[in-house]
Amino acid sequence: MRNRRLIAIVLVLAVLLSFAPAVASAEFGGTVKSDHVLLMDADSGLILYEKDAYSKAYPASTTKIMTCILVLENCENLRDKVSIGKIVSNYGEGNSLMGLTVGDEVRVKDLLYGLMLPSGNDAAAVLAEHFGGDFAGFAAMMNEKAGELGMENTHYVNPHGLHSEEHYTTAYDMAILTRYAMQNGDFRAIVSTPSYTCPATKKMDERTLYNTNRFLNPKEKNKKYNWSAVTGVKTGFTNAAGGCLVASASQDGKNLICIILGDRSDGQEGRWSEARALLEYGFEALTTARISELNIPAQTVRVPNAAADDEGSGVLALTLGTESSTVACTKDMLSAIAAGEARVEVNIKLDDVIAAPIAANQKLGTATISCGGNTLGTVDVFASRAVAEKQETPPSETPAETPSSTSIVGGAPTPLRGNRPSAYLIVGAVLLVLILLLVVYRIVYTSRRKRRRGRRKKDDVA
C-alpha cells in the first residue's frame, strides 16, 4: 500500500513538473556556493541564472553603487569642492578608506573615485553629509530612488554599507540598480577605472587609488584575475554580508551583470571564480531571436468604428516590431520554443484607445515578450494595414416623385408642379359651377312664374 502511494506521489510530481516553465538557470552546469546570485542581460533584463536572488541579503559596500549614482544625479559640477568635516574621524581601523583629512577640500569627482575604487567609507560619509544634510537625509534619498527603480525589497540606512539589520537588499534588486546606473556615462567611467590619481590638496599630496575589483586591479598580485571583458563595478565585505561582488562585462555586443552576495569561502575567493564562470556561460548562452522565430500566435485588435466594407470586418492584425527587431534569449530557450516545448507570452500595451482612421504601419503601442516568466524584450506594435472610419449617413427626406415633361424642341424638360390643378382648370370649374347655378336658378324661376299664372286664371273663373 505504501509503495502504491509513493508511486502515485511520484507520478503527480512528474505531471506537475512537466508543466513548469523553462528556466534559463537550469542550463548552467557550474557550481555556485554563494548565498544569493543572479546573472542578467543588461540590455533586455533577461535573467540567465539565479540562486535565491529574491531573498533578503546584506549588500556591504556594494551599497556605494546607489551612493555614487545619487551624487552624480544631484551634482551640478563634479569639480565643485567639498569641505571635509569631522565626520571622517568616525572611520578608522577596520574601515576601507580613501584617506581624507579634516579641514581639507576635495573635489566631488575625486571623492567619487575614492568612493568606488578603494571603497572609501570616509568618502561615502562626506558625500552623504554634503548632498543629504546628514545620514538620515541621504538615506531618505536612497530609499526614494530605490522605490522609483522598483527595488521592492531594499532598504538603506547609511551610504557605505556597514552592517545594520535595517540595511538590506536582494540580488535581484542589486541587478536592477546596477543596470540603471550603468546607463550613466560618468558612472561607467568611474567603475571601469583600474586606478586613479587624485591631485594634491592643501592637506594631502598627490596619490593613486586602486580598484578593489580584481578583474580590473593592475597590481601584480591580481594579474591572474584580470579580464578585459569586465567593465565594473563594485566589491564589498562584512562578516554578516560575506563576500559581495557586482560585476559587469561586455563581449561581442553582449552586456552582462553578475551579482554575488554572501560568498562564505575562505578569503571570499569563491566570488571571483563563480562570477567569471557565470559571465562566460552568459556570453556563450545568450543569443537573439527575430520575432518570426518565436512562434507567436497572431495578435489582433478590434476597431469598433471601422468602415462597413472593411476587409477584416473591423478586426485588425498587429505587427510586432520591425524586420530588424530582435529579443534576447538563450540558445536552449530558442530551441525549446522551436520544438513547442516552451511557450512565448505577449503583453500588449496600447498607447491609446483603438479607433479608425488608422494608417498602415501606424505605431499603436508596445509589446513585452516573455517566456517562462522571463522577459525577453519589448518591441513596438504597428498596424498591419489601414482601416477607414465608418461614415455616418445623415437622415434625408425622400422627395415626392414628380413626372417631367419632354420638350418638343429638344430643350430641357420642365418638371410639373406636383399634382396641383392648373389655373385654367380652376377657372373652368368655377365657370361650370356658375353656369349650373344659373341653370338651376332659371328652372326655379320659370317654375314659380307658371304657378303664379295658374292662380290668376282660377281667380278670373271664379
Amino acid at position 235, single letter = T
Whether 119 is catalytic is: yes
Q: Which of 34, 44, 51, 64 is catalytic?
A: 64
Q: Which of 61, 96, 325, 370 is catalytic?
A: 61
Whether 89 is catalytic is: no
Strands (E), 275-411: 286-290, 300-302, 315-320, 326-330, 344-350, 363-371, 374-383
Label residues 189-228 b or e (16+ Cβ within 10 Å = b).
ebbbbeebebeebeeeeeeebbbbbbbbbeeeebeebebe
Grid coordinates representing 87? Answer: 565626520
CA distances from 321 to 9, 69, 115, 138, 335 (A): 45, 33, 42, 42, 21
Q: Please state at what angle helix 64-74 crosses helix 108-116, rounded to 10 degrees.
A: 160
Q: How far apart are CA 225 and CA 145, in angstroms?
A: 33
First to last CA, the chain: 153
Q: Which of 119, 192, 248, 370 is catalytic?
A: 119
Grid coordinates representing 11? Answer: 507520478
Task: State which H helix or E strand residue 268 sits in.
Answer: none
Q: How far apart are CA 359 and CA 340, in angstroms?
A: 34
Whether 407 is catalytic is: no
Catalytic residues: 61, 64, 119
